[in-house]
Chains A and B, each alone.
Chain A
Amino acid sequence: MNWKAFLAMLARDAHVARRNFVALLFQTFLQPLMFVFIFGRVMVGSGYMPPSYKSLLLPGIMAICMVGTGIWAVAMPLIAEFQFTREIEDRLLAPMEISWLAIEKVVAGTLQALAAGLMVIPAAWLLLRPGVDLHVPHPLLFALVAILVALFSATGGLALGCSMQQTHIGLMFSLIVAPMIFFGCTYYPWSALEKFPVLQKAVLVNPLVYASEGLRATMIPQFPHLPLLAVVVGLVFFNALLLVTGLRNFHGKSVT
């Protein structure tokens, strides 16, 4: 393993992310924070939503921000760089096994997703306060879940980025990302689906459910949530599946 090349590629991705920092900031946070403001502040303040919704919403918004960031950070550059310009070739020709380039992309995406997740907590808290009831009784468990969620976003980005054409980016968001968010228990807890038993079972194939419920379990454990063990098993399973799929597709795209 050539760590020098690996770290140089990570430095390259960090350099590019720094250069696009302001645009990334707006792209990642604007929409979720507007949602937080309208649903958490305006609708709760006017009595359309119960006050407890503020606390329920925050972990879901954190999940959306992290998953959106990771997918965007990994999938979009891969889709672009494997297209006509083949920009990725200078890194494919670096003296390192090409699978490590895919793993480097996953590491870069995971770090960006973690940063987005940690940044959205104080921002959303400021918008929602007072009335947010955050408890993090087990910081290590919270860190484990946050890392698994960030990894899911990056492996998802790898799998999507290596199986999509540039012309299908719009389709990727409307057919995959949007349904994943709406059926991902982000704006409501999984237990709220009790009255829709078929839907409640069906959404379990959506990895985002485990992400939002996992963050709920570790940030607001006083509210109903999926068991933490189910969350960890679910996220590990989807991370492994997406990583294997992503690596296979990455090889397919890299070598003809």
Chain B
Amino acid sequence: MVAGIRTRDLRKVYNSAPPVAAGTGGFSFGAPKAKGKQPRPEIVALDGISLDILPGEIFCLLGPNGAGKSTTVGVLTTRVRPTGGQAFIGEYDVWQNQVAVKRLIGVVAQRPNLDFSLTAREILTFHGAYFGLSSQERAKRAEALLERFKLTDRADQMVRGFSGGMMQRLSIARAMMHDPQVLFLDEPSAGLDPQTRLLLWEIVREYNQSGKTILLTTHNMEEADALCKRLAIIDHGRVIALGTPQELKSAVPGGYLLRLRFGLHSPDFLIRLQALAGVREVRANDSNGADVYADRGGSLVAEVAALASGAGVELCDVHISEPSLENLFLHHTGRSLRE
């Protein structure tokens, strides 16, 4: 059975503890106690996420840090209790059928969470034992995964001394050990060198080709573009765009983005920019900056410079972006993914 992923209006609100400086803790003599509890600040991590991820699909959640990607993965993997809405893996409601869901999923957390009391091989074999694999099967799969992830020479060493990249590779191998139907990869390539990243991509594609569903989160557009069949861009706990990388890139007006900085510009000047051939949209960031969405890039710069010079506006900086998911994110939020 190949399982997909479905969420309906998923919400998660964290109630963080009041800060220590609020004066509610510790001893106090003589000072009257304030009546009632201080209101706890609420942090909305997910604000109604609805997704349909098809069985056998590589789906990507793309967004900046704090957008709600890891919380979505947390809810889908039974580790975060949703405040509202529903989440399903295959036919199982994640919160109602946790054990059945855990049988179907493999999870690679954002930070390596390996069992430091064990060797690399033991981490894999004990993980297999938790999932009921026979000892022969465990040994066979562990050997194959250690080989695939290029960890054979360190297989019988404690993982405490492993580099970050080795730990990440072992985390992914562990998640694949029980051959899950759905694989979650939370920022899998963070901290990996380019060579290991390519190995990871190759392994992810290969795993997907065996019919498995993969949900990965990233803030790396290149990764999303290279791996995903479809992706959702999320920000502040909401889905702001959803589709194939190609569809999403072509949704940016014109495709190209010119980020311009001036000494000082005026509304009148921006209207004249808008009138240049090929310009689809002009957005002022502040009194110095403007984002110009257009269907051409470099060839527009000379015309912008001439226009600025004619209007007495000093052009300080020009940055040209080719059609990309970054441009789409910027178009929707006014912020860069890296900010």
Contact = CB atoms under 8 A, between A and B. Distances in A.
Interface residues of B, number: 32
A2 B80 contact: no
Contacts of A96: 99, 102, 130
A132 to B, nearest CB: 38
A223 B80 CA distance: 55
Interface stretch (A22-30, A81-89, A147-155): A81-89
A232 interface: no
A133 interface: no
13 contacts: A2-B99, A4-B129, A8-B129, A11-B129, A12-B126, A16-B117, A85-B113, A89-B109, A93-B79, A95-B102, A95-B130, A254-B79, A256-B80
A85 B167 CA distance: 12
Q: Choose among B80, B81, B114, B117 the residue with the greatest number of A CB atoms under 10 Å from its CB.
A: B117
B93 to A, nearest CB: 15
Interface in B50-74: 74
Given A86-B111, A94-B130, A16 B118 contact: yes
Given A85-B111, A89-B107, A93-B79, 8 more contacts: A11-B126, A85-B113, A86-B113, A90-B123, A93-B77, A97-B98, A255-B78, A256-B80
B79 A89 contact: yes
A11 to B, nearest CB: 7
Interface in A84-110: 84-87, 89-98
A98 B81 CA distance: 14
A5 interface: yes
Contacts of A4: 129, 132
A2 B132 CA distance: 9
A15 interface: yes
A92 B99 CA distance: 10
Contact of B107 (A16, A93, A98): A93
Given A4-B132, A16-B117, A90 B127 contact: yes
A94 B115 CA distance: 14
Contacts of B127: 90
A141 interface: no
Contact of A95 (B111, B123, B131): B131
B179 interface: no
Q: Choose among A93, A96, A98, A255 the residue with the greatest number of B CB atoms under 10 Å from its CB.
A: A93
A92 to B, nearest CB: 7
Interface of A: 2, 4-5, 8-9, 11-12, 15-16, 19, 77, 84-87, 89-98, 254-256
A255 B102 contact: no
Contact of B81 (A19, A93, A256): A256
Contacts of A94: 102, 130-131
Contacts of B114: 85, 87, 90
Contacts of A84: 111
Nearest to A80: B116
Contacts of A92: 79
Nearest to A4: B132
Interface in B131-153: 131-132
A86 B77 CA distance: 15
A4 B126 CA distance: 11
B122 interface: yes
Contacts of A86: 109, 111, 113
A91 B102 CA distance: 11
Question: 6 shortest A-B CB distances, which residue pairs?
Answer: A8-B129, A94-B130, A86-B113, A16-B117, A4-B132, A95-B103
Contacts of B81: 255-256
B115 to A, nearest CB: 5
B34 to A, nearest CB: 26
A142 B74 CA distance: 47
B238 interface: no
Nearest to A98: B98
Contacts of B212: none
A236 B328 CA distance: 63
Q: Choose among B99, B105, B118 the residue with the greatest number of A CB atoms under 10 Å from its CB.
A: B99
Given A5-B130, A256-B81, A19 B117 contact: yes
Contacts of A12: 115, 118, 126, 129
A93 B118 CA distance: 17
Nearest to A92: B79
B174 interface: yes
A16 B174 CA distance: 19
B115 A256 contact: no
Q: Choose among A4, A16, A86, A95 the residue with the greatest number of B CB atoms under 10 Å from its CB.
A: A95
A113 B300 CA distance: 77
Nearest to A251: B81
Contacts of A255: 78-81
A5 B98 CA distance: 15
B99 A85 contact: no
B99 A95 contact: yes
Interface in B169-194: 174
A94 B99 CA distance: 8
Contacts of A77: 117
A83 B111 CA distance: 12
A112 B236 CA distance: 48
Interface string B191-209: 0000000000000000000
Nearest to A94: B130
